[in-house]
Amino acid sequence: MNSRDPLPQSDRSASRALSSSLRDAMRYWEQRRLIYNLVLVLVCVGWGVATWPHFRPALTLLHLLQLLVLGLIANALYCAAYFVDVPMLLSPLAGEWRTRRVGLWWAGMLFATLLTNYWIADEIYPFVR
């Protein structure tokens, strides 16, 4: 280590590996975020179309603001994938993980879809008369 370089070689390589893994994870997950959001919007629109006369009273500013907040929460939860993906990309299983992480995306997509359906069916629909 020289006087101009405050980090030892092992710390620099670890830092580069982390940076590379974060870029890889962002490239992978952010390309799929649009699909994630589109699916959740289609679930909401599907409920509205399928039960339109009942949902008409639910179209209030308050409900739309709640929907916006729930959309923000859904996108924050989407970021949870990074907590699994980045450590896996730093592990010796990184090569195999890159081919299998689509399973994590599908599991998250299924969970978000189920949660969205539950929220609409249990929290919105019973109050719409």
Give per-residue pLDDT as tens, 77-101. 999 999 999 999 999 999 999 999 9
Domain carrying residue 73? 18-127
- Asked if residue 106 is part of any domain, the answer here is yes
For the whole model, what pTM was predicted?
A: 0.81
Beta carbons of 44 and 118 less than 8 angstroms apart? no
Span 29-53, pLDDT tens digits: 999 999 999 999 999 999 889 888 8
Secondary structure class of 24 (helix, strand, coil):
helix
Number of independent structural domains in the chain: 1
Rounded CA separation 84/92 (Å): 14
